[in-house]
C-alpha cells in the first residue's frame, strides 16, 4: 500500500525544509497526535542528516506507545528525506508492522512551497481483511499531519539558519 498526500504552505521551501529536516526531532510542534519527540543520534547521520532520527511518544505515558523514526535518505539539494517508522511498545492490535515515509519540499513561488508525503505502511497479517477500510483511513490521517504542518509553519516565524537547528 502506498499513500501520497500533498499540501501547499505559504512559506519558502527553505523555511519548510528547515522545519521538516533540520528540526526533525521537533515533530511534536506540528504533529497533533505526538505530545513529545526527541532526537536520536544528534550530529551527522550515515544518511547525512543532522540526526539519525527521532522518538515520538504516542501518549503522555513515558512507558507507553512510541514510534522510532530512523532517517534512511537525506538530500539537502532535493530537499527530501526518507525515514522508517518502527513501533515501540504499541498494542498488538495496531495493524502496522512498520511504515516508510518519504517527504519532499518544492518551491512553487517566493513564499510558497509544496510538501509531498509518500507513506508505504507494511501491514500485519491480520490487517489484510481490513485493507479497504485502511485505504480510507490512512490518507485522512496523513492528510491531518500535513495540515498540522501547514498550520504550524504558516503561524510561526521559521528559521533557515542551519546553525540554529
pLDDT, one tens digit per residue, over 62-79 is 899 999 999 999 999 999
**Phi-psi category of 85—alpha, beta or left, where left has phi over 0 and alpha has psi -120 to 50?**
beta
pLDDT tens digits along 90-115:
988 889 999 999 999 999 998 999 99
Read off the pTM: 0.92
Taking the C-alpha atoms of residue 131 and residue 52, their distance in angstroms, rounded to an integer, is: 32
Q: Are 6 and 117 in contact (CB under 8 A)?
A: yes
**Cα 96 to chain center, whole Å?**
16
Residue 142 DSSP one-character state:
H
pLDDT per 10-residue tile (average), the chain, 165 residues: 96 96 96 94 86 95 93 97 95 92 96 97 94 93 95 87 48
Taking the C-alpha atoms of residue 62 and residue 54, their distance in angstroms, rounded to an integer, is: 15
Amino acid at each position: 500500500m502506498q499513500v501520497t498526500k500533498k499540501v501547499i504552505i505559504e512559506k519558502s521551501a527553505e523555511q519548510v525544509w528547515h522545519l521538516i529536516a533540520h528540526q526533525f526531532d521537533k515533530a511534536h510542534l506540528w504533529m497533533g497526535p505526538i505530545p513529545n519527540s526527541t532526537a536520536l543520534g544528534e550530529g551527522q547521520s550515515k544518511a547525512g542528516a543532522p540526526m539519525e532520527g527521532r522518538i515520538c511518544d504516542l501518549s503522555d505515558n513515558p512507558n507507553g506507545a512510541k514510534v522510532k523514526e530512523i532517517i534512511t535518505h537525506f538530500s539537502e539539494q532535493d530537499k527530501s528525506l526518507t525515514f522508517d517508522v518502527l513501533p515501540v511498545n504499541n498494542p498488538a492490535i495496531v495493524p502496522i508492522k512498520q511504515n516508510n515515509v518519504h517527504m519532499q519540499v518544492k518551491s512553487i513561488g517566493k513564499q510558497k512551497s509544496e510538501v509531498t508525503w509518500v507513506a508505504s505502511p507494511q501491514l500485519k497479517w491480520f490487517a489484510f481483511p481490513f485493507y479497504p477500510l485502511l485505504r480510507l483511513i490512512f490518507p485522512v490521517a496523513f492528510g491531518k499531519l500535513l495540515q498540522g504542518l501547514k498550520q504550524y509553519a504558516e503561524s510561526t516565524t521559521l528559521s533557515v539558519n542551519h546553525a540554529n537547528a
